[in-house]
Chain A
Amino acid sequence: MVTDIATMKSGLAQTSGQFSTFFVADLFFGVDVLRVQEVLRFQQMTRVPQAPEVIEGLINLRGQIVTAIDMRRRLRLPPRAGDQTPMNMVVRTEDGAVSLLVDEIGDVLDVDAATFERPPENLDPAARELIRGVYKLKDRLLLVLDAERTVDLAAGRPA
């Protein structure tokens, strides 16, 4: 048991330089690939009345109950088009697995550490809290999502 947690923790701290990418609206995000537990199609969800609005609901992931956070609402972006069903990107956090609802799943990318930059100062505060930085890829920018902060709903709230 102890070793399990230890490995998990060290896994969380480790970075591989590889990112699982996904889209939320027109933003291109990446999460460290070691953090991603799995990617699922949209699942049947149980609403949680009275929950914070970023919480879409609860899903049953093979007997494990996982909270799904809608990334559009988390980043305060306009809602998805009606016919578009989100994808579940299940990430491991210190609090267990959490599913992030994203628009579309992208490839796993290797990035060059030299292209990293801090997020711009004038970024929307809601997003700025959750974005660790930006990798300047050839054709676009990859935003690095801070998974721990994303699932910590107290972070990124307007004061």
Chain B
Amino acid sequence: MQDEDVIREFLVESHENLSRLDQELVELEKHPKDAELLASIFRTIHTIKGTCGFLAFSTLERITHQAESLLSQLRDGRRELSPSLVSLILDTVDATRKVLGSIEATGEEGPDRFEDLTERLRVAAQLTGDSAVQPGAGMTPAAAAEPLDNNGFSEHAEDKPREGDAAKSSAVADANIRVGVGLLDKLMDLVGELVLTRNQILQFNTEREDAALNVTSQRLNLITTELQEGVMKTRMQPIGMVWNKLPRVVRDMAVALGKQIRLEMDGAETELDRTIIEAIKDPLVHLVRNSCDHGVEPPEVRVRAGKPPQGRLTLRAYHEGGQVNIEIGDDGAGIDVARVKQKAIEKGLLRPEQSEKLTDREALNLVFQPGFSTAKTVTNVSGRGVGMDVVKSNIEKIGGIVDVFSRPGEGTTVKLKIPLTLAIIPGLVISSGGERFVIPQVSLLELIRLEGDSGEKHIERVHGTPVYRRRGTLLPIAYLNQVLGLESAERADVVSMVVLQAEDRQFGLVVDGINDTQEIVVKPLSKQLKGLTVYAGATIMGDGRVALILDVLGIGQRSGVLAESREQSRAATEQKTQSGIEQQRLLLFRAGSFERLAVPLSLVARLEEFPQSSIEHAGGCQVVQYRNRILPLIPLRDVLESGAPDHGQTADPVQVIVFNDGDRSVGLVVDQILDVAEEAVTVRQKTGRKGLLGSAVVGKHVADFLDLNQVIRAAAEDWFQSTGGSANGKRILVAEASAFSRGLIRSGLDMVGYRVLEAANLDEAIRGLEQHPVDIVVTALDLPPDGSSALLTAMRRRTEWQGIPILALANSAEQARTRAGQTADFQDCQVKFDREAMLESVARLASTLASSETVPVCVGEER
């Protein structure tokens, strides 16, 4: 903040104080014992003294300092007030006024040092007797001994015009008046009403064709807008008002912490509504203290790191897109992401396995979690576990956003995005279920209108969760009518969607109609409705009806598009992206010491019970007669625990899971069938154990996934030997990111007799192709890193790979259909996990291979 501004403020304030002082002193003469008056006078002088010291006006400081000592004696009752003392103080006031006039005119205190006055004040303060303060005749610049009534007062006033500087002194005071904040608020309310009425008139105007009304309403429109801006301006204050006290904060902190910190401020003149200034005051101070304490390193550490010993703290404020950005940056050590994670784990804010998946940016945002502080030591300035979360919630309360950026060794920057004002905001009017709602423009990113015969079809589903592909990324979608429980007319062919941003996440909100944007006046909801998180308030529309303002964050949370906390949401999206593949119905069962085993239910043909007596032996295998065929039985326990002693007799009847493969079946003998669970599954831990794919959490308990192919192969190798057919010997490369999905695809192919190569990403796939002759490639469309087309391109570049047919696997039938229709690059496209279709397709591709020609086939129908 520029000195001139500070001085101007000081002048305005001091002039006011001095006028009051004149009145108070006169009043004091009448009631010399009025402690309240004395205290007030003391405070006024004290304030001026304090500011003078700050601004380095030494003469003024000296005068007021002496007066203050005198006044403190009076205030404390150590001496009686006498008329001579009053006049002495009045002289002080006059002298002060004169110096202020000089400051205003020249910026300097002027040549007069007022030494005699200072001396008299000093003497008066030393002596307790009244006589001591008798004016030294002729020494005073003003007649101090004159009777102190209104006359004496006016004589001083008459003196003024003679003092040329003092005449001007009123210039500043006159150009500024102090207005109560209450009055400004009231004016703002009235302007709000006027804006509403203006909107009403404008709407009225569009309904009728009246030239006169038209002209008038246009004028009204312009004037209202101007008035609104004007009144808003009266409430605007430069952010420097808050920054003013920061140099002191930084200095004190630096001294206390033994650091050297230079504060740089840029954009102090940036203006904000006073309500917002109030709201950001504390968060700002907190952030600055934080930067001093945790950000900037002690000088010796800085020197060791090759930085200048003096740290830099930068405050920047600027307007951007109808908002004010405030940045608090330091050139310190940056935030140690590893320590943040570790701390979060210690505090129970994060699970260890989550921490590995967290990106640095996400980890940084952990500092905003309640109860978090990375300071190694708790100092008296910070590190008490309250802070950043409060900062965040305070900023969000006023519709702002907090973000933190950090580079190790280079520093940390906290960025606040703050709306200019809260009272009148631009909003988008939308409709849903026959009602109108307003969405604050700040939360709005874009509008999307899906039309044509497939409006609704652009919205795809990931296991029932609607998503929209927006420039290549999936945008979760919520339907406003569902969130609010409203009945909407059947959407025909057009879908209107608004893309919203809450915190740092985005989602689409489908609405019935998008109307227009308006300036709206935000009114709070009554107590009875405060509990509804989906509304931010209400407003009155142009037609005089009330419309509710949606709370974007609340809508997101209520619809489940945004989870309550960042971590949860991240985990959820992670699951969602995988759930298309891995949300599965699982059969859970028990065998031997394995309490919880799982296989996908889709692989299971039937569950059967056979009495022990029906089990026969054939070719070294247990078999039963089953539907006029021989069903080989595999005792699972023996496979998984080969070599373990037999635990007594098996149950009677035995529980058998029957798996079908074409004409053949095989039965798996288990101890007990437990349950069928429908669950999004992520294989968390791969086991090296034979017969198991890995383990995952299913229904809150860990279950082991059975590698069916391995189990069956281990137990009934010869059963597979007989499989034969076109499949035999053909090598298939399965490229798919998820180990679990890959295992399932492989087990399907294995069972029919293909040899399977696995690849988790593009590189592995290419390596596989280079190292082995491959007959068919089965690839997921979403093969990392960039999708299957990269693999396709790579394969088309090498002549020896060009003839290899490719089967693409899509996550949904919808995707499969579009891809099959769009491109002939792949020979076929099927839905992942539609095992039958996949095998059929592979068999078809294999047979085309046999006839040594590749014919692109597109299997479009959905199974």
Q: Give chain A's interface residues, CB within 8 Å of chain B.
A: 1, 44-52, 55, 57-60, 63, 65-67, 69, 95-96, 98, 151-153
Contact = CB atoms under 8 A, between A and B. Distances in A.
A63 B548 contact: no
28 contacts: A44-B544, A46-B435, A46-B538, A46-B545, A47-B435, A48-B548, A49-B484, A49-B486, A50-B485, A51-B528, A55-B528, A57-B546, A58-B538, A58-B548, A60-B544, A60-B546, A63-B193, A65-B538, A65-B546, A66-B526, A67-B525, A67-B528, A69-B528, A95-B526, A95-B527, A95-B528, A96-B526, A98-B526
A63 B198 CA distance: 12
B182 A58 contact: no
A65 B523 CA distance: 7
Contacts of A46: 435, 538, 545-548
Nearest to B523: A65
A151 B485 contact: no
B693 interface: no
Contact of B532 (A50, A95, A152): A50
A152 B546 CA distance: 22
Interface string B420-442: 00000000000001010000000
Interface in B541-564: 544-548
A146 to B, nearest CB: 15
B28 interface: no
Interface in B195-241: 196
Contact of B545 (A44, A52, A66, A153): A44
Contacts of A59: 546
A60 B545 contact: yes
A63 B540 contact: yes
Contacts of A45: 546
A153 B528 contact: yes
Contacts of B548: 46, 48, 58
B644 interface: no
B523 to A, nearest CB: 5
Most buried by B among A50, A59, A153: A50
A63 B528 contact: no
Mostly, the B contact residues are: mixed
B512 to A, nearest CB: 13
B529 interface: yes
Most chain A Cβ neighbours within 10 Å, of B433, B486, B527, B538: B527
A40 to B, nearest CB: 14
A69 B529 CA distance: 11
Contacts of B529: 48, 51, 55, 67
Nearest to A47: B435
A52 B546 contact: no
Interface string B396-434: 000000000000000000000000000000000000010
B815 to A, nearest CB: 34
Contacts of B534: 50
Given A1-B182, A46-B545, A60-B545, A65 B484 contact: no
Given A46-B545, A48-B532, A55-B529, A65 B540 contact: yes
Contacts of A151: 527-528
A55 B545 CA distance: 17
Nearest to B434: A47
Interface residues of B, number: 26
A46 B196 CA distance: 17
A115 to B, nearest CB: 33
Interface of B: 182, 192-193, 196, 433, 435, 484-486, 523, 525-529, 532, 534-535, 538-540, 544-548
A93 to B, nearest CB: 9
A45 B548 CA distance: 12
Contacts, number: 66
A95 B530 CA distance: 12
Q: With a 10 A CB-CB cut-off, give which of B182, B193, B528, B534 has the most chain A CB atoms.
A: B528
Contacts of A58: 538, 546, 548
Contacts of B535: 48
B528 A60 contact: no
A65 B433 CA distance: 22
A93 B547 CA distance: 23
Contacts of A69: 528
A23 to B, nearest CB: 23
A93 B520 CA distance: 26
A152 B529 CA distance: 11
Contacts of A95: 526-528
Contacts of B540: 60, 63, 65
Contacts of A152: 527
Given A47-B435, A60-B546, A52 B528 contact: yes
Contacts of B485: 49-50
Nearest to B531: A52
Contact of B435 (A44, A49, A52, A60): A49
Q: Which of A47, A49, A57, A59 has the most CB of B within 10 A?
A: A49
A69 B433 CA distance: 22
Nearest to A45: B546
A51 B532 contact: yes
Nearest to B558: A50
B196 A63 contact: yes
Residue among A45, A46, A151, A153 with max Cβ neighbours from chain B (10 Å): A46
Nearest to B540: A60
A49 B434 CA distance: 11
A68 to B, nearest CB: 10
A52 B532 CA distance: 9
Given A50-B532, A58-B548, A63-B193, 12 more contacts: A44-B544, A46-B548, A48-B548, A49-B486, A55-B528, A65-B538, A65-B539, A67-B528, A69-B528, A96-B526, A98-B528, A152-B527
B433 A49 contact: yes
A55 B435 CA distance: 16
Contacts of A96: 526
B188 to A, nearest CB: 13
A42 B536 CA distance: 26
A67 B532 CA distance: 14
Contacts of B539: 65
Nearest to A44: B545
A1 B544 CA distance: 27
A148 B546 CA distance: 24
A67 B484 contact: no
A49 B481 CA distance: 9
B434 to A, nearest CB: 9
A89 to B, nearest CB: 16
B522 to A, nearest CB: 10
A4 B484 CA distance: 38
Contacts of A49: 433, 435, 484-486
Contacts of A98: 526, 528
Contacts of B545: 44, 46, 60
Candidate in A1, A65, A153 with the most chain B CB atoms within 10 angstroms:
A65
Contacts of A55: 528-529
B87 to A, nearest CB: 37
A44 B433 CA distance: 17
B160 to A, nearest CB: 36
Which 3 A-B residue pairs are closest in the complex by CB-CB distance?
A49-B484, A46-B546, A67-B526
B750 to A, nearest CB: 53
A51 B546 CA distance: 15
Contacts of B523: 65
Nearest to B180: A1
Nearest to A97: B526
Contacts of B532: 48, 50-51
A90 B52 CA distance: 56
A131 to B, nearest CB: 19
Nearest to B183: A1
Contacts of B182: 1
Nearest to B485: A49
B193 to A, nearest CB: 5
B20 to A, nearest CB: 21
